[in-house]
Structure 1
Amino acid sequence: MARIEFAELFLVLLKPKVERTDAIQKFVCQETVILRLHDADGCVGTGYSYTIGTGGSSVIGLLSDHLLPLLIGREAEEIESIWRDLKFHIHATTVGAISSLALTAIDTALWDLRALRAGLPLHLLAGGARRRIPTYTTEGGWLHLSQDELVEDAQRAREGGFRGVKIKIGKPTVRADVRRVAAVRAAIGDEMELMTDCNQAFSVDEAIRRAESLAGLDVAWMEEPLPADDVEGHVRLAAATSIPVAVGESIYGLRHFRDYLQRRACSIVQVDCARIGGITPWLKVAHLAEAFNVAVAPHFLMELHVSLACAVPNGRWVEYIPQLDEITLSGLRIENGEALAPETPGLGIAWNWDEIRKRRAVEHAVRKVA
């Protein structure tokens, strides 16, 4: 084992490749928090986290002012202990997005260090259930797009070999949503999966109504139909529809997932590594879902989630939304509609440090105070 000697912290702003809108918001900018941890043996682990436009400076502040000073000097292999100690240190702000995003930067860097020292790729170190996993694309399904544009993109996705496409719903009327979903279903045929995403826009009665209207279109799932803290509403919806209900990208704690699973309030778990607090709690959520025979289809972060979804036996999908291409040297490998888990030691992300330093909005170095 080796102790953490110092940390480098960056904030890099990345514009989305296409305009991204949903029923409640617009994806303005990925504020990418990147953390490098240097240990006493000279090994360097890199982790990261993100926001979709606000809060990045708060994540940086929580890390530089409160968490990293406590991390310096700790044994890097004590990942579980570190995660718990740091979480309790900021317990007054947890459970919540800023705390989870900050913990994720540290936790993913520690897992990268562990995998590099072991000489293993993350998908093997974390479980090794498979080496590839089906992909679906969200990048052409945004709410502002016209019906024709949705259809054209879905056809391109089919020709490109994707196994599924996801489109946003939440138009002012039920019929408008149904027309768009029906048009995409007709364009892709019966062999390709079609997912829908509501982004927490509906009340319970409206979600039930829209689910009933979509029931004949073979929808793979209805994602985030209600506010994420409305477990009871999801119970009612899940009981009222045959469409699988997917939740998780806006859930920040293991026990919140437990409540959903115990209440049979969801059929798909979309746990987001950044928003749950890192790889350590992500794996716990995935195995908890496995105990309920529920599949995992993680939200966003495809470059990291491909390894995690391949690590566990109930990983089902990886969501294709490219966002790190401008600051990495290798992209997601896809063959026959399946994403391949990286085989290089560590997280499998080849960072372009020249580009990161060129684009950085913030940079800090944190060392142990004498």
Structure 2
Amino acid sequence: MKLEPLTYQSVEARPVLVPLRRPIISKVGAFDQWPLILIDLHTREGIVGRSYLEPYLKQAAKYIVPAIRDLAASRAGARLAPLDDFQDARRSLHLLGYEGVTMIAIAGLDMAAWDALGKAAGLPLAALLGGTVGKVQAYNSNGLWLSGVDGLAEEASALVAEGAFSALKLRLGRERLQDDLDAIRAVRAAAGDELQLMVDFNQGLSFDDGLRRCHALDDERLYWFEEPLAYNNTSGHAQLAREIRTPIQLGENFYGPRELLKALQAGACDCVMLDLMRIGGVSGWLRSAPIASAAGIPVSTHLYPEVCAHLMRITETAHWLEWQDWAYPVLKEPFALADGQLVVPDKAGSGIEWDESAVKQFQYD
């Protein structure tokens, strides 16, 4: 099979604001709607690569969309080569810095480019990268926020039932330790003692509080403590990792491969979870996951379950996929769930296509 080259022509980036079935209530904010930026990368050959970004804040689209358009305009007429483009784009942004809007824009275009290449080859992204399609073990991250403890048991039962899940994520960091303990026990009572329960503090604890809280919860058989402290408190997380038996999970705020390497060198975490928007899209993942795998560190995902599911199929130390349905309102055909696993479909590219009627409904300026 000869793979015909693809050429950048133009990009369309559309912000949408979609409803959430369960409002987010966390240390980083409260949301009942979720912003997405939908990216359509048009090639001269007629193939369109698609991806989306999750910028957290509605107003962030005002800064990210122009950056995407500028990067795409600079590549007009060039051949699609996402690994080369990743390096070139990073070099071109030395003076602006690697974190924030610059990396997010690079990542959005990168994911769309890989989708286009998969479509051109007639292969799912996982197969294009040398793997196969199939199932990926997942935990349900669609709820169990910092709401009242009274409703957690019913919600936990519903979350398990959504896909026969054996693992859920619970957010912690309430004002009183006892409230966190009550939340853990309410979820276990409803979902079963064999439930794998990941907990996320969303960077909500100071170092001293984090030290006390994690020690106090260390006997609760929790699967991991995710970001107890501010994401850039590497030394603090390293101390927690040394003192706490429960694994420390970091990574959703790593901007590029070197930040992951620094965290591992510092002993700041026992496992990592990569966010495609920040790690640098598919190309950033391909440069980052092998660093963790070579060190024997388990690799999980943060957001973007559709594209991440393909990448987990080719990651040596693939661990858990974080499943949310937050982008489902604008997807033509969401991926299927089976026995607590997300099923990667045998479709060319990443498998993302838009429901244009829904896009029109939720789009904003």
2:19 matched to 1:15? yes
> After the TM superposition, which parts of structure 1 deviate over 4 Å for at least 4 consecutive aligned residues?
none
2:293 matched to 1:290? yes
Partner of residue 60, structure 2: 55
Q: Is the 8 A contact 1:246 1:266 kept in 2?
A: yes
- 2:331 maps to a residue whose letter is T
Structure 1 position 281, deviation (Å): 0.4
Candidates 254, 262, 277, aligned match of 1:259: 262
2:2 matched to 1:2? no
2:118 matched to 1:115? yes
Structure 1 position 172, deviation (Å): 0.9
* In structure 2, C-alpha distance between the alignment counterparts of 1:58 and 1:211, rounded to whole Å: 37
Task: Name whichever of 251-260 and 235-244 sits farther off.
Answer: 251-260
* In structure 2, C-alpha distance between the alignment counterparts of 1:197 and 1:335, rounded to whole Å: 25
Q: Aligned pairs, how many?
A: 359
SS of equivalent to 1:155: helix
Q: Is the 8 A contact 2:335 2:343 kept in 1?
A: yes
Structure 1 position 156, deviation (Å): 2.4
Q: Compared with structure 1, are the counterparts of its residues 29 and 62 closer, same or farther at alpha carbon in structure 2 (3 Å cutoff)?
A: farther
2:279 matched to 1:269? no
Partner of residue 140, structure 1: 143
Partner of residue 194, structure 1: 197
Partner of residue 184, structure 2: 181
* In structure 1, C-alpha distance between the alignment counterparts of 2:306 and 2:40, rounded to whole Å: 17
Q: Is the 8 A contact 2:149 2:179 kept in 1?
A: no
Candidates 223, 226, 230, aligned match of 2:229: 226
Q: Is the 8 A contact 1:11 1:32 kept in 2?
A: yes
Deviations 1:175-219 (A, max 9, x none): 221221122223323322001100111122221211122122210
2:170 matched to 1:167? yes
Q: Is the 8 A contact 2:273 2:300 kept in 1?
A: yes
Partner of residue 44, structure 1: 48
Q: Compared with structure 1, are the counterparts of its residues 314 and 86 closer, same or farther at alpha carbon in structure 2 (3 Å cutoff)?
A: same
SS of equivalent to 2:184: helix
Task: Name whichever of 340-349 and 33-42 sits farther off.
Answer: 33-42
- 1:349 maps to a residue whose letter is I
* In structure 2, C-alpha distance between the alignment counterparts of 1:119 and 1:350, rounded to whole Å: 15
Q: Is the 8 A contact 2:37 2:61 kept in 1?
A: yes
Structure 1 position 358, deviation (Å): 4.3
Task: Name whichever of 310-319 and 181-190 sits farther off.
Answer: 181-190
Q: Is the 8 A contact 1:46 1:108 kept in 2?
A: yes
* In structure 2, C-alpha distance between the alignment counterparts of 1:158 and 1:68, rounded to whole Å: 41
What's the RMSD between the two structures over aligned residues?
A: 1.7
Candidates 78, 82, 86, aligned match of 2:85: 82
SS of equivalent to 1:232: helix
* In structure 2, C-alpha distance between the alignment counterparts of 1:112 and 1:316, rounded to whole Å: 23
* In structure 2, C-alpha distance between the alignment counterparts of 1:210 and 1:131, rounded to whole Å: 39
SS of equivalent to 1:18: strand
SS of equivalent to 2:302: coil
SS of equivalent to 2:218: helix
SS of equivalent to 2:348: coil
Candidates 347, 352, 356, aligned match of 1:353: 356
Deviations 1:228-286 (A, max 9, x none): 11111111000010001111112212111101112221112111011222110012221
- 2:229 maps to a residue whose letter is L
Aligned sequence identity (%): 28
- 1:4 maps to a residue whose letter is Y
SS of equivalent to 1:219: coil
Partner of residue 160, structure 2: 158
Structure 1 position 28, deviation (Å): 5.3
Q: Is the 8 A contact 1:136 1:163 kept in 2?
A: yes
State the TM-score, normalizing by the size of structure 2: 0.93
Q: Is the 8 A contact 2:25 2:145 kept in 1?
A: yes
Q: Compared with structure 1, are the counterparts of its residues 171 and 358 closer, same or farther at alpha carbon in structure 2 (3 Å cutoff)?
A: closer
Q: Is the 8 A contact 1:151 1:183 kept in 2?
A: yes
Structure 1 position 287, deviation (Å): 1.3
Structure 1 position 302, deviation (Å): 1.6
Task: Name whichever of 32-41 and 229-238 sits farther off.
Answer: 32-41
* In structure 1, C-alpha distance between the alignment counterparts of 2:133 and 2:364, rounded to whole Å: 38
- 2:259 maps to a residue whose letter is H
Q: Is the 8 A contact 2:98 2:255 kept in 1?
A: yes
Q: Is the 8 A contact 1:48 1:104 kept in 2?
A: no
State the TM-score, normalizing by the size of structure 1: 0.92
Candidates 301, 310, 313, aligned match of 1:310: 313
Q: Is the 8 A contact 1:28 1:52 kept in 2?
A: no
Partner of residue 333, structure 2: 330
Q: Compared with structure 1, are the counterparts of its residues 15 and 156 closer, same or farther at alpha carbon in structure 2 (3 Å cutoff)?
A: closer
Residues 338-349 of structure 1: matches in 2 within 5 Å? Answer: 338-349=341-352
Specify every segment of 5 or more residues in structure 2 that has no aligned partner in the other structure, as ranges. Answer: none
* In structure 2, C-alpha distance between the alignment counterparts of 1:24 and 1:48, rounded to whole Å: 21
2:151 matched to 1:149? yes
